[in-house]
Chain A
């Protein structure tokens, strides 16, 4: 069944596997967008589009899309076989999970880092702290860029592996252990529904007004 997002053909300029089963796919930027927005991707013009956050900056020449293969999925196994010069079909960008210049905590799990990568690459970094959760040490996509810039304001929480400089445990454990969180800052959450609702509950329990919590979910 057609989900009625208008999809247009673009030629893929590059595809890189940045971790096992996790890819960054790039194509020349055909439109302006706001960092944090999503786009629909399909295998043909009338396909049922799947939504992905854009991971590149607003002024970058190319649009980057970060995704992981869902083995049972319709799109990502196909997408992972795409090579330079192949066509994919994309919608125009949309959505309002967009960054601002205000101080904020960016909290992501897995490929939920993508909108924060776009905000980072668009220069919306003042007063930001980035918390990224992942299962193993390969899960911290773009970590070299982030750690070089954010230093101690970039926290990686790893649930299965241990390493120096990496918090040993899930994001929820890390946040629960913090004695205090600034109540007047914004908290942007992006990831699985489980992560978003659990983190949101912890933030509310710690006194963050729900008005200051903005969530983006995968679906």
Chain B
């Protein structure tokens, strides 16, 4: 059985420099490695042409590069692509690439499955199979052909990013650092259901955008839709955001899936206006994409338009997210690798 070596892909510059020191390599090797790992397409040490052969041999003795190609891709009629990656034995994750004119967005996963059990989410139905490493998160960007076109990265795929905070924070560093992928913090958004302590760490340490899954401003309704409400209620989430000075560069948005006759009434508009009073933010309405066995229905188009208008009239900037990739189950809330995980388990 071949020896499994630690991967270099997913290490920060500080970690790469430390590794170079541990292996008695010149300190600048850390910077060279970061360049090859995050700014080029090489997938082996042989391609690192400005690194000496001797150094490459030492590195290859102890480490693997750790870049993994997707194992499958599906393409939607609207141009959206859903990439499938392996993430450890018998585990899979998905990432969605969404082109829209000059804007190219990659929706990445942070966990295999999800623990949060939201009533409306397909990923939640597969349960939780594990956290992704920093390398596995970034590999979703690094290994797809559209990598160089990417303008935006959103952490809205499988899993709850703030339940895997350390790996996600490291990935944000590498994604936005000059030595890394050098994507502007204004083009990166992390979505959470509102794990307050971890969200606070994110707001303190990162300048990336934040999106919070809100879905109803009423506590009792929210805890039926999202069990997290029992532990971290919306009021704590909003109060935490209020504590931070959300400058003009960081955007905070609240995601709101529209469920017919559940959360699409005028009562909800009024309560949203009250709850979000003086929070510099916007609301992003999302059409519901029904999942098997769900008791929920999507609001009709007229109700969505009325709701959006009513919120805008209240002074809350409200947009409606376009549904993309629905025909390949790449749209919001539809990512799942449950069947693949099951199949691997049975093999």
Identify the A interface with B (CB < 8 A).
1-5, 38, 49, 51, 94-97, 192-194, 196-197, 200-201, 204-205, 209-211, 213-219
Contact = CB atoms under 8 A, between A and B. Distances in A.
Residue among A3, A4, A197, A211 facing the most chain B CB atoms (10 A cut-off) = A197
Contact of A217 (B117, B165, B294, B296): B117
Nearest to A2: B201
Interface stretch (B15-23, B26-34, B224-232): B224-232
Contacts of A217: 115-117, 227-228
Given A97-B230, A213-B224, A4 B201 contact: yes
Given A192-B127, A193-B114, A38 B197 contact: no
A215 B219 contact: no
B200 A4 contact: yes
B145 interface: no
Interface string B231-255: 1010000000000000000000000
Interface residues of B, number: 35
A96 B233 contact: yes
A207 to B, nearest CB: 10
Given A211-B224, A214-B224, A196 B231 contact: no
B165 A1 contact: yes
Contacts of A219: 115-116, 160, 163, 195
B293 interface: yes
Majority SS at the chain A contact face:
mixed
Given A4-B201, A197-B117, A197-B125, A96 B230 contact: yes
B91 interface: no
Given A3-B197, A94-B231, A193 B117 contact: yes
B119 interface: yes
30 contacts: A1-B165, A1-B169, A3-B165, A3-B197, A4-B197, A4-B201, A51-B231, A94-B231, A95-B231, A96-B219, A96-B233, A192-B128, A193-B113, A193-B114, A193-B115, A193-B117, A197-B127, A200-B117, A201-B293, A204-B293, A210-B296, A214-B223, A214-B224, A216-B230, A216-B231, A217-B117, A217-B227, A218-B115, A219-B115, A219-B163
Most chain A CB atoms below 10 A, which of B127, B165, B197, B296: B197
B166 interface: yes
Q: What 8 pairs between A and B have smallest CB-CB spacing?
A: A194-B127, A3-B197, A97-B230, A215-B227, A193-B115, A219-B115, A4-B197, A196-B117
